[in-house]
């Protein structure tokens, strides 16, 4: 275990589990992760390896004996009959038989129904009446000649979820972790390796949890396939339900007027719609109208009666086009069915997760570290629904008066959700509060900016906040910074296609109150400047960062203490490729590296640098290096004999993790398709 895993086990004994164990026990069982982790939490919530191995064997034995595979349902039914009583793990749903006045259970995989359930069980677990719950049940068999009586008897039923927890102990343990450690613990709890995610990417993952801890929160995520958009909603909590296909009826979701039965929003904390995108999908317009009212007012009608509910709604779907294509031709809601492509519906959304920033899930991204047993954390999140953290920024910041009530509500709910997840103990610094507030503002701004493209009645809004000194800070979305030439568009008054707002004398779009955006890498003649790049920004490459400044140079010195590991060596090799591209074929250029010798693998480090030297010799490059004798070397910069100094706060290490061994991946071949880390670069003229 690393230091963080040791700390996790120290402060949350018995409440955490090693995340790679789920795969070890799952086998071919088609069962949510929270069911498996419930069992692992009973037998493997420890750091003792011997106990873990024993626990794994126990859980495997329980699954093999009691989990019902549909293909083996007949064998399990036979066990029940022959033994008289047998324990099964299955998904159970219950219906009221109004003709007989009794509740009857159906076991999904076991293939039996009309099993009598007493009213006390239903009162204790009302979710059994809606879509079913995974349970551990004891089933008995008693044959009878009466054909109207089921031979199956339910002797006990226990839904698979935590029965109790100590919230005060949770808060006390949270105080023992730094913010970075806590974020990494939460990312590991979701199942991912935090080392492969930047800060912004981690926050994006955690936003997916807000519907479980914030009442009536409306979230949408659209992006490429394979980014794990639906994973949280199907696997992470027994209090959420994922509806496949994104299609559902009014009676199922809200209320059946003929029977009076309340739908999903009355029983679940979060109702998620999978595969929500798709222009050709047929959607009931009446459903959309009811959803609009519910998302805005938390209520819906049953005949003449108005009912309220607290379920949050999450909508996830795939996009077919790139972000610049959507911004140039339509908008970021372009993939939605026409019934949902409605400004009134979209205005109810509190946050738009930019799914195009989320990496496609790869095997190496899964964690083998320790995280919360998910049913424990699910109960924590549910408990936090009763608390209000929306005012936690008021001491330091205030939102722009330009924002509408709906904008403010959206920002406040997102901010409150992130505060509950990250700082349930109220221990956030002003800087940490500002980070979450800015992130919340950006998510709502992404919604509102697209609404201005769709509906001309939406006026411009200044998405900004002020600190206690009165200094105003404007927030911009990342795609706004990356594609300003396409971003600033609004719907025409006549309702025709969106129009650019641009000056006749400029290629740059103009917009009142548009925020100063981070400049793109320089393309024009080199000049002194300072540029800031955000995490996950794309379109960045060594060619456009360094090309104009090294062109014509005959001597270049690179100072970077971190040219040691393989990926750092590859960065240096790609810089040398940039030098080759920007020199005349007949010229020769000398590149000198100043770095620090690796303490443990210096032999491999020297060997790799020597290989680069040999490769450069055939292309008119003279590559040399030296190991600095100063162990405190921290400077990272590039100096040319043309008078330029390029200061880099991260050196050449500006890209997020990507698959270097995958030949058929454009992020491997072309730098501009890689998301970058947050970094800054300063160009200075010397002499």
Q: What is the mean pLDDT of the chain?
A: 89
* Three-state helix/strand/coil letters over 191-250: CECHHHCCHHHHHHHHHCCHHHHCCCCEEEEEECCCCCCCHHHHHHCCCEEEEHHHCCCH
Task: With CA atoms as reference, report the closest residue to 370 among 25, 48, 54.
Answer: 48
Token pair of 341 as six digits: 């492509």
As a whole number, mean pLDDT of residues 489-514 equals: 46
**pLDDT at position 515:** 43
With bands split at pLDDT 50, 70 and 90, how would you rate the model's confidence at 506? very low
Q: Tokens 């970075």 map to which residue? A: 180
CA distance from start to end of the chain: 52
Q: Is 651 helix (H, G, I), strand (E, B) or coil?
A: coil
The band of 522, judged by pLDDT with boundaries at 50, 70 and 90, is low
Which of 524, 525, 446 shows the shortest CA–CA distance to 480? 446
In a shared domain, residues 647 and 616: yes
Q: Which two tokens stand for residue 103?
A: 């509740």
Residue 478 lies in a domain: no
| Residue pLDDT, tens place only, 249-272 | 888 899 887 777 888 999 899 999
* 154 and 193, same domain (yes or no): no
Distance CA 392, CA 377 (A): 22
Q: Which of 267, 197, 200, 192 is nearest to 235 (CA)?
A: 192
Asked if residue 206 and residue 143 are part of one domain, the reply reads: no
Q: Of 547, 626, 554, which Cα lies nearest the Cα of 590?
A: 554
CATH classification at residue 336:
3.40.50.300
Last residue of a domain, one of 322, 355, 381: 381
Q: Are residues 248 and 112 in the same domain?
A: no
Q: Which of 159, 175, 192 is the last residue of a domain?
A: 159
Within this chain, do residues 223 and 320 fall inside the same structural domain, yes or no? yes
Looking at the structure, do residues 180 and 154 belong to the same domain, yes or no?
no
We report the CATH number of the domain holding residue 666 as: 3.30.870.30
**How many CB atoms sit inside 10 A of residue 662's CB?**
12
Pick from 362-371, 515-524, 648-657: least confident: 515-524
SS3 assignment, position 317: strand
Neighbour count for residue 415 (Cβ, 10 Å): 27
Residue 675: the pLDDT is: 93
245: left (phi over 0), alpha (psi -120 to 50) or beta: left
| Residue 549 structure tokens | 């400044």
Q: What is the DSSP letter of 468?
A: T
Unique residue bearing structure tokens 């020597």: 610
Question: Do the domain assignments include residue 664?
Answer: yes
Q: Is the Cβ–Cβ distance between 116 and 104 less than 8 Å?
A: yes
Distance of CA 649 to the CA centre of its chain: 27
- 290 domain-assigned: yes
Supply the CATH number for residue 84's domain: 2.40.50
Assess if residue 475 is contained within a domain. Answer: no
Q: How many domains does one find in the chain? A: 3
What pLDDT, in 10s, does the model give residues 189-206? 999 999 999 999 999 999
Same domain, 144 and 246: no
What does the angle CA 626 – CA 627 – CA 628 come to, to the nearest 5 degrees?
A: 110
Cβ atoms within 10 Å, residue 489: 22
What does the pLDDT read at residue 496?
44
Four-CA torsion 453, 458, 459, 460, nearest 10 degrees: -40
Average pLDDT over residues 8-29: 87
Measured CA to CA, the distance from residue 253 to residue 262 in angstroms comes to 8
For residue 43, being part of any structural domain is answered with: no
272 in the same domain as 196: yes
Report the alpha-carbon distance of residue 577 to residue 579 in Å, rounded: 5
Whether residue 132 is found in the same domain as residue 260? no
* Final residue in a domain of this structure, among 159, 182, 210: 159
- SS3 at position 478: helix
Is this prediction's pTM over 0.85? no
Q: Are residues 134 and 224 in the same domain?
A: no
Contacts of 665 (CB under 8 A, 6+ apart): 658, 659
The crossing angle, in degrees rounded to 10, of helices 430-454 and 405-422 is: 140
Helix (H/G/I), strand (E/B), else coil: 602: helix
Helix (H, G, I), strand (E, B) or coil at 401: coil
Burial of 495 (0-12, 13-18, 19+ CB in 10 A): exposed
Considering the domain architecture, whether residues 654 and 570 belong to the same structural domain is answered as: yes
The residue-averaged pLDDT of 113-125 equals 88
Question: How many angstroms separate the CA atoms of 455 and 446, rounded?
Answer: 15
Same domain, 122 and 181: no
- Buried b or exposed e, range 266-275, using 16+ CB within 10 angstroms: bbbbbbbbbb
Query: Contact, 284 vs 250, CB < 8 A?
Result: yes
Residue 492 has what pLDDT?
60
Residue 516 counted as domain residue = no
In a domain, 544, yes or no: yes
Can you give the residue range of the structural domain that contains 110?
A: 70-159
Flag the least confident range among 227-241, 571-585, 672-686.
Answer: 227-241
pLDDT tens, position by position, 134-158: 899 999 998 888 777 888 989 888 8
pLDDT class of 520 with cuts at 50, 70, 90: low
Residue 217 pLDDT exceeds 80:
yes
Query: Per the domain annotation, does 444 fall within a domain?
Result: no
């Amino acid at each position: 275990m690393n230091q963080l895993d040791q700390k996790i086990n120290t402060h949350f004994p018995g409440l955490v589990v090693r995340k790679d164990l789920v795969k070890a026990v799952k086998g071919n069982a088609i069962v949510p992760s929270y069911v498996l982790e419930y069992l692992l939490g009973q037998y493997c919530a420890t750091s003792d390896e011997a106990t873990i191995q024993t626990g794994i064997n126990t859980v495997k034995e329980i699954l093999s004996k009691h989990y019902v595979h549909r293909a083996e349902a007949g064998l399990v039914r036979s066990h029940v009959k022959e033994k008289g009583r047998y324990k099964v793990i299955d998904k159970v749903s219950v219906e009221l038989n109004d003709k007989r006045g009794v509740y009857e259970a159906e076991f999904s995989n076991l293939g039996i129904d009309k099993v009598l359930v007493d009213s006390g069980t239903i009162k204790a677990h009302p979710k059994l009446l809606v879509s079913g719950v995974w349970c551990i049940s004891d089933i008995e068999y008693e044959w009878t000649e009466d054909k109207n009586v089921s031979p199956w008897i339910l002797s006990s039923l226990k839904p698979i979820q935590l029965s109790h927890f100590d919230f005060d102990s949770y808060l006390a343990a949270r105080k023992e972790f730094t913010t970075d450690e806590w974020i990494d613990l939460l990312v590991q709890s979701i199942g991912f390796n935090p080392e492969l995610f930047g800060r912004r990417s981690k926050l994006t993952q955690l936003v997916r949890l807000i519907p479980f801890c914030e009442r009536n929160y409306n979230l949408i995520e659209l992006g490429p396939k394979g980014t794990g958009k639906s994973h949280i909603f199907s696997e992470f909590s027994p209090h959420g339900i994922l509806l496949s296909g994104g299609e559902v009826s009014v009676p199922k979701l809200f209320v059946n007027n003929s029977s009076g039965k309340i739908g999903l929003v009355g029983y679940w904390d979060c109702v998620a719609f999978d595969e929500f995108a798709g222009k050709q999908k047929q959607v009931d317009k009446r459903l959309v109208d009811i959803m609009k009212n519910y998302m805005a007012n938390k209520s819906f009608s049953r005949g003449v009666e108005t009912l309220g509910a607290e379920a949050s709604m999450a909508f996830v779907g795939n996009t077919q086009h790139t972000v610049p294509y959507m911004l140039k031709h339509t908008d970021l809601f372009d993939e939605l069915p026409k019934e949902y492509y409605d400004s009134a519906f979209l205005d109810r959304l509190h946050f738009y997760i930019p799914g195009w920033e989320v990496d496609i899930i790869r095997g190496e991204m899964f964690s083998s570290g320790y995280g919360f047993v998910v049913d424990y954390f699910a109960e924590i999140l549910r408990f936090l629904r009763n608390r209000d953290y929306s005012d936690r920024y008021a001491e330091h910041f205030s939102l722009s008066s330009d924002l509408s009530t709906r904008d403010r509500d959206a920002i406040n709910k997102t901010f409150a959700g992130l505060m509950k997840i990250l700082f349930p103990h109220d221990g956030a610094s002003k800087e940490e509060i500002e980070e979450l507030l800015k992130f919340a503002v950006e998510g709502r701004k992404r919604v509102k900016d697209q609404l201005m493209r769709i509906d001309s009645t939406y006026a411009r809004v200044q998405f900004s906040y002020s600190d206690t000194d009165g200094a105003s800070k404007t927030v911009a979305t990342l795609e706004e910074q990356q594609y300003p030439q396409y971003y600033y568009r609004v719907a025409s008054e006549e309702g025709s296609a969106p129009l650019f707002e641009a000056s006749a004398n400029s290629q740059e779009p103009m917009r009142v109150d548009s925020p100063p955006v981070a400049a793109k890498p320089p393309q024009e003649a080199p000049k002194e400047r300072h540029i800031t790049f955000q995490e996950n920004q794309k379109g960045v490459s060594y060619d456009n960062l360094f090309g104009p400044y090294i062109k014509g140079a005959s001597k270049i010195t690179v100072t970077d203490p971190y040219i040691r590991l393989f990926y750092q060596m590859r960065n240096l090799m790609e810089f040398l490729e940039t030098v080759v591209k920007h020199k005349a074929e007949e010229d020769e250029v000398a590149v000198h590296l100043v770095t620090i010798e690796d303490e443990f693998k210096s032999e491999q480090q020297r060997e790799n640098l020597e290989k680069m030297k040999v490769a450069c010799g055939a292309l008119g490059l003279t590559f040399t290096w030296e190991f600095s004798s100063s162990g405190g070397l921290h400077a990272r910069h590039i100096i040319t004999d043309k008078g330029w100094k390029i200061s880099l706060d991260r050196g050449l290490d500006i890209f997020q993790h990507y698959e270097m061994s995958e030949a058929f991946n454009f992020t491997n071949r072309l730098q501009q398709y890689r998301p970058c880390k947050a970094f800054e670069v300063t160009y200075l003229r010397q002499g």
